[in-house]
Amino acid sequence: MRYQMKKFKSKFIIGIVFICIIAFFFGSVCYRYYRAKRYFDYGLTGAESSSSSNDSSAQEDWSKKYPFGENYEFEPTVKTPKNTAEESGKTESGIFSAYLEKVNTLKENIDYYTTKLLPGRMKYVEANALFGKTVGMKIVSGSDSVIVMKNGYLTFESSTSLNADAQAESVKWFSDIMKEKGIDFVYFQYPAKEKEDDGMLPEGVTDGANITADNLVERLKKSGVNCSDLRASLAQKNSDWYSNFFKTDHHWKPETGVWAAGQIVSTLNSDFGYKLDSDIGNLESYNIDVYEKYCFGSQGKIVTLTFADPEDISIIYPKKKTNITVQYNNDAPSTGHFENVIFNKSYLNNTDYYNYSAYASYLNGNKALTQITNHDCKNGKKILIIGDSYNKCVAPYLSQTFESTTLLDRRYFDGSVIDYIDKTDPDIVIIAYTPTLIGGVESHTSTFNFE
């Protein structure tokens, strides 16, 4: 009898321990799910971290507020791979398509619960990265593959290149519409972290993004589109190309964004006779607060802290007194000094590197629409920037010489760009992308769709 009681007690204790382990695991998953929904925190790798604050954009029905008109529909004369796939897909059964969509959704959900919500996930990722570093791996796999360049800088793999015919046609189509409306237009080609043909990529890795940008710029110039290639300008700026970029992130540094704002103003002044303040591109006009070891970028998050180290990021704001209003999407606007409304310093965290993006402190991460009003500028000039997150470190400084500065991110704005322009009446529109974001033209969230 005593033996049976002991045996029962042992089984009971083992059962309790097992239940506790299951409860801990389930509780950890629930906690991670709560953080993901509440804070858009996935323990992220890749560029997801930078866009994590795009919460309100998903709730906006931009196509209802800015509807598409029949007069402005872009039809590329060249077929992109997606065009071809969509046309062939039209012959498929609707039932099959719906079934395939459900299967893909189920697959994504399973991947989500078994990877991103896995308790202690980053410890496993760190161990894998440490092994890769030990054996000298130059390509680290993750949500995006990261290349370790010969100078120690990290970059995303972008071997695929495009001929950019459809993209060039789309920009040309949009440029012609701007001309009809009497709106000045320039396409600015931003640089990528990789400098062309400098031999910093490992053997066997090709720089497809810059090849795509070369093709696009060449086609735009041939078609008569007003185009400025800032890659050439940056190469002349100083001999150390890579000092303009973060080592662990895919973005350029804020200091480079200030420089780019000055370059844009110089181009607008020379091409259109504007009298904008070119001094906005001079770093001596700004205070610079350096946050040491606060930035661990999108590429660093993939290779983890066992592979790369955090780096500094600068918060740059005008020395002069300022009065700025910033509005994200349709949220309530904020008015105050430049440094108080342009930056969201809650993203500056030097203890939780995996769940915070220091770069997102500029203009509060990625939004569909960001509108900046400079109450001290009375020149009546309004600029619309269509582009990617590189502009987060450009638009704030352009706002110093424009009365109104708006940044539109096509990845999140699915309304009509043309209708938005008609309703806001900017003096100038620029398109500005880094080579890796030269994307599709097919949908209303494709980076090169400007309908």
Q: How confident is the model at residue 84 (pLDDT cuts 50, 70, 90)?
A: very low
Higher pLDDT: 20 or 383? It is 383
Domain boundaries, the chain: 2-39, 132-437
Checking if the pLDDT of 117 tops 70, the result is no
Q: Which of 390, 100, 345, 83 is nearest to 244 (CA)?
A: 390
The separation between CA 4 and the C-alpha centre of its own chain, rounded to angstroms, equals 64
Query: What is the DSSP annotation of 172-193?
Result: HHHHHHHHHTT-EEEEEEPPPS
Yes or no: say if 420 and 408 are a contact pair by the CB < 8 Å rule: yes
Mean of pLDDT values over 392-406: 99
Cβ distance 48 to 112 under 8 Å?
no
Residue among 407, 333, 330 nearest 365 (CA)? 407
Give buried/exposed letters for 42-63 (b at 16+ CB in 10 A, else e).
Answer: bbbbbbbbbbbbbbebeebebe
| Amino acid identity at 381 | K
Is the per-residue pLDDT at 27 higher than 70? Answer: no
Burial 244-267 (b: 16+ CB within 10 A, else e): bbbbbbbbbbbbbbbbbbbbbbbb
Mean pLDDT across the stretch 300-320? 95
Our CA angle for 430, 239, 151, nearest 5°, is 100
- Angle CA(100)–CA(63)–CA(78) in degrees, nearest 5? 65
Say if CB 435 and CB 390 are below 8 A apart: no
Average pLDDT for 55-76: 84
> Locate tokens 């866009």: which residue?
51
- Mean per-residue pLDDT of the chain: 86
Global pTM value: 0.83
CA angle 58, 158, 446 (to 5 degrees): 30
Tokens, residue 48: 């997801």
Across-strand partners of 227? 187
Percent of the chain having pLDDT more than 90? 66
Lowest mean per-residue pLDDT among 24-28, 137-141, 209-213: 24-28
Lowest mean pLDDT among 107-116, 137-146, 397-406, 420-429: 107-116
Separation between Cα atoms, residue 167 and residue 77, nearest integer Å = 11
- Band of residue 39 on the pLDDT scale cut at 50, 70, 90: very low
Closest CA to 419 of 435, 430, 408: 408
| Average pLDDT score over residue span 50-65 | 68
Hey, what are 444's tokens?
């209303």
Structure tokens at 347: 């993203």
In the chain, the amino acid numbered 351 is T
pLDDT confidence band for 186 (50 / 70 / 90): very high
122, with CB counted inside 10 A (0-12, 13-18, 19+), is middle
- Pick the range with the lowest mean pLDDT from 52-61, 291-300, 440-449: 52-61
Number of H helices, E strands in the chain: 13, 13
Residue 113 DSSP one-character state: I
Tokens at 10, concatenated: 């042992």
Q: Report pLDDT for 430.
A: 99
